[in-house]
Amino acid sequence: MDEKRALLEAALFISDKPLHIKELCKITEMKENVVKKLLEEMEKELEKEHRGLKLLAMENNYHLKVKEKYLEKVSHLTPYADLSRAMLKVLSLAVYKKGITQSEVVKTIGNRAYDYIKDLKSRGLIKTEKEGRTKRLELTEEFMKYFGISSRQELLDRFKMKTGKKELKDIYLSDFASFFERLEKKRRE
């Protein structure tokens, strides 16, 4: 069983995206209930203070992440440390206003936004869905993974905690864009 648990941990570690329970069952050649039990044990083990990782579970998808308290010291090793200030502004708009359209982003940032959106989409940080003559921007799981969060709400909560803002209506876009810039700068250090 230790060998299967090690294989499970290795699969979660090496994967650049969350793995579905069925994929984990296939890799380990174990039944779903056994894999889930091992995942629960792994999650408890990773919660210990001396561990640098945590196990995230989202709708039967599992992924290993760096614990937040270590993220600042190692995040510069991520492959997206080269995000420009303008791309961070596009991302901040997508978080700030859930379901923002491409045309709204262009009105806010200007025509260069088309290039930024295309680049962010190619990196897998956002996805677009056709909506009339424009496209709606949505955050992806890759975005969540990049920022070490499990949801848009978690990122908003982290922002509110750092700034002392209580409500989304109290948050100004410029504050949020600056917050993203600080996060990215810490990743580069």
pLDDT in tens, 10-33: 999 888 778 899 999 999 999 999
Taking the mean position of all CA atoms in its chain, how far away is CA 43?
19
Tell which CATH classification among 3.40.50.300, 3.90.1150.10, 1.20.1090.10, 1.10.10.10 matches the domain 2-66.
Answer: 1.10.10.10
- Give me the pLDDT at residue 126, please: 92
Is residue 51 pLDDT above 80, yes or no?
Answer: yes
- What are the two backbone dihedrals, phi and then psi, of residue 149, each rounded to the nearest 5 degrees? -125, 165
What count of residues does the chain have? Answer: 189
pTM tops 0.75: no
Q: Domain 85-188: which topology?
A: Arc Repressor Mutant, subunit A (1.10.10)
Banded model confidence at residue 127, pLDDT cuts 50, 70, 90: very high
Is residue 113 pLDDT above 70, yes or no?
Answer: yes
Is residue 183 pLDDT above 70, yes or no?
Answer: no
Mean pLDDT across 53-66? 87
- Give me the pLDDT at residue 167, please: 52
Instruction: List where CATH 1.10.10.10 sits in the chain.
Output: 2-66, 85-188
Helices vs. strands in the chain: H and E counts, helices first: 10, 5
